[in-house]
């Protein structure tokens, strides 16, 4: 890699808006329903510049909008960035996360090195949660994937140092606690993005396994075991191996174990992630348009890896296993053929009718391994189907489960983390579609409802354990309106969501 990605650090500083020293001071303004006395005080110090911007119509405080003004030494900060929060009554933690993201995005655009952030004026949300969201947002928006850019024409800064500011000591305490968590989650999410953004020739299963080992060794109480293709063959993980049959880069099952003595749950939770480091479709080759994006078909696995790091760093009292199914799907003389029948790790046989429906094959063995490890709750996460994008667009990921309680827990984590989920059905009709004719199961259903038949397939391996499937294909990379808040490419979807889910269990 030619260079380091911008290093982002978020802390808290006790100071006033007028005294905060930074290249940019980012402040949040509501469009309606707020008095914002401190912002008015700042406006006075700036000789009414904010009022003027509003008056000429350049800034109305609407959500997702921003405007910059230059302070000409009237206050300590060089520039003030106004960020619209929309109506005060509608503001949620995600409103502040998005505004913080936009602040960092703009800061990086103008090569700022320091950013002071004051978004929580008059906020009605618990300050600790809000500060976590703001720190996560700063990481999210400040991220830029440019490891391989050697022509450094942009002369961007190596670091972005951000501070959430407040003059009140009591507020400081809560803000600091929240920022500490947000810093850990935000960093983890950005590294998940880097893993996904790295091309297939740089990041392949063995590389991912080495990175997982390194992460585990750097965090106390996180353990990492890697099964190579020989160990997987010894365990008869034939569905998993079938996917990787045509690849020079051999598959790896990466198993992360976090079982602290303080754990409240005796039966562990499993997070199982699909990490196809490149998905060409195999013999059922994909069309070439946008095929390069398939380097991100490992988003679920990256989310599991980085969530495990978050859990361990925060020392959460919960037993969790992270199982990452890493393989490359390529056409070759040794590739699995459409029509091949394999006996999975569970003993069930599967007729592989389409080699591009490979995620469910690696996950079938991964999910079965979670059962072998005696996990009583399994959540799998995968960029599984284009059909899920067909159903939901690029705005929400699919949540498929037949357990109402688990659905509720994941929906709660989704609301907290700002990583949107939408429930899709996973009922018997779909399971009927993947019943085999000359085998127990087949790996595809009919033409329609692919997100649901994909989930129904996975459920056959999870049963009778409590299980949910997250089809995150819609959120593999940034699309509108997310590109308002962050750079294109991977968004590391799932790290915040799964971290919140596990935090809620502790």
Q: Which parts of this chain interact with Zn ion (CB under 5 A)?
A: 279, 356, 358
360 is catalytic: yes
Q: Residue 25's CB: how many other CB atoms inside 10 A?
A: 27
Across the strands, what pairs with 29? 84
User: Among positive and negative, which fits the CA dihedral 408, 413, 418, 419?
Assistant: negative
| Minimum distance of Zn ion from residue 86's CB (angstroms) | 39
Q: What DSSP string describes 84-151? A: EEEEGGG--HHHHHHHHHHHHHHHHHTT-SEEEEE--TT--S-HHHHHHHHHHHHHHHH----TT---
Question: In this chain, which residue has its C-beta nearest to Zn ion?
Answer: 356
Both tokens of residue 326?
Answer: 């890493």
CA pair distance 367, 255, nearest whole angstrom = 12
| Minimum distance of Zn ion from residue 274's CB (angstroms) | 10
207 is catalytic: no
With respect to Zn ion, which residue has the nearer C-beta, 94 or 356?
A: 356
With respect to Zn ion, which residue has the nearer C-beta, 279 or 365?
A: 279
- At 70, is the secondary structure helix, strand, or coil? strand
Q: What DSSP string describes 279-348? A: E--TTSPPPSTTGGGGGGTTHHHHHHHHHHHHHHHTT-S--EEEEEEEEEE--STTSPPTTEEEE-TTS-
| Minimum distance of Zn ion from residue 201's CB (angstroms) | 19
With respect to Zn ion, which residue has the nearer C-beta, 26 or 391?
A: 391
With respect to Zn ion, which residue has the nearer C-beta, 356 or 380?
A: 356
With respect to Zn ion, which residue has the nearer C-beta, 166 or 358?
A: 358
| Minimum distance of Zn ion from residue 393's CB (angstroms) | 20
Q: Which residues contact 274 (CB under 8 A, 6 or more apart)?
A: 297, 298, 299, 300, 301, 325, 359, 362, 363, 366, 380, 381, 382, 383, 384
DSSP-derived pairing of the beta strands 252-258 and 320-329: antiparallel
With respect to Zn ion, which residue has the nearer C-beta, 309 or 356?
A: 356
274, 360, 371, 496: which is the annotated catalytic residue? 360
113, 180, 286, 348: which is the annotated catalytic residue? 286
Q: Residue 36's CB: how many other CB atoms inside 10 A?
A: 18
| Minimum distance of Zn ion from residue 488's CB (angstroms) | 22
Across the strands, what pairs with 467? 378
Active-site residue set:
286, 360
């Amino acid at each position: 890699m030619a260079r380091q990605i911008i290093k982002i650090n978020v802390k808290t500083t006790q100071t006033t808006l007028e005294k905060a020293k930074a290249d940019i001071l980012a402040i949040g303004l509501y469009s309606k329903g707020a008095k914002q006395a401190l912002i008015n005080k700042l406006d006075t110090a700036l000789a009414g510049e904010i009022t003027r911007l509003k008056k000429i119509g350049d800034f109305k405080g609407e959500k997702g909008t921003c405007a910059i003004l230059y302070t000409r030494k009237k206050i300590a900060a060089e520039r003030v960035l106004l960020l619209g929060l929309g109506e005060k009554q509608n503001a949620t933690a995600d409103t502040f996360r998005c505004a913080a993201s936009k602040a960092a995005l703009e800061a990086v655009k103008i090569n700022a090195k320091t950013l002071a952030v004051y978004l929580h004026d008059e906020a009605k949300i618990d300050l600790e949660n809000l500060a976590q969201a703001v720190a996560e947002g700063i990481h999210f928006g400040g991220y830029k994937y440019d490891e391989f850019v050697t022509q450094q024409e942009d002369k961007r800064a190596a670091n972005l140092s951000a501070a959430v500011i407040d003059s009140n000591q009591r507020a400081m305490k809560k803000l600091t606690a929240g920022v500490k968590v947000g810093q850990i989650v935000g960093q983890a999410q950005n590294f998940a993005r880097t893993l996904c953004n790295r091309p297939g020739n740089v990041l392949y299963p063995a590389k991912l396994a080495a990175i997982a080992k390194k992460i585990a060794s750097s965090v106390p109480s996180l353990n990492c075991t890697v099964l190579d293709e020989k160990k997987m063959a010894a365990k008869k993980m034939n569905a998993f191996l079938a996917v990787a049959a045509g690849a020079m880069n051999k598959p790896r099952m990466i198993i992360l174990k976090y079982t602290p003595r303080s754990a409240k749950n005796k039966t562990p939770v499993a997070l199982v992630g699909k990490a196809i480091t490149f998905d060409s479709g195999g013999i059922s080759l994909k069309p070439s348009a946008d095929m390069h994006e398939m380097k991100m078909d490992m988003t679920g696995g990256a989310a599991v890896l980085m969530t495990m790091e978050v859990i361990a760093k925060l020392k959460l009292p919960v037993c969790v296993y992270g199982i990452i199914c890493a393989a490359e799907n390529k056409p070759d003389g040794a590739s699995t053929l459409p029509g091949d029948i394999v006996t999975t790790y569970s003993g069930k046989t599967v007729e592989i009718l389409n080699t591009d429906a490979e995620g469910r094959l690696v996950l079938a063995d991964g999910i079965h391994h979670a059962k072998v490890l005696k996990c009583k709750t399994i959540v799998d996460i995968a960029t599984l189907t284009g059909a899920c994008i067909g159903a939901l667009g690029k705005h929400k990921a699919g949540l498929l489960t037949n357990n109402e309680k688990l659905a509720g827990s994941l929906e709660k984590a989704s609301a907290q983390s700002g990583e949107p989920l939408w429930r899709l059905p996973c009922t018997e009709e779909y399971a009927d579609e993947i019943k085999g004719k000359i085998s127990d199961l087949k790996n595809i259903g009919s033409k329609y409802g692919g997100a649901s038949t994909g989930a129904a397939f996975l459920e056959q391996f999870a049963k009778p354990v409590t299980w949910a499937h997250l089809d995150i294909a819609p959120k593999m990379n940034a699309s509108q309106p997310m590109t308002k808040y962050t750079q294109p490419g991977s968004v590391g979807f799932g790290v915040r969501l799964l971290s919140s889910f596990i935090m809620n269990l502790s």
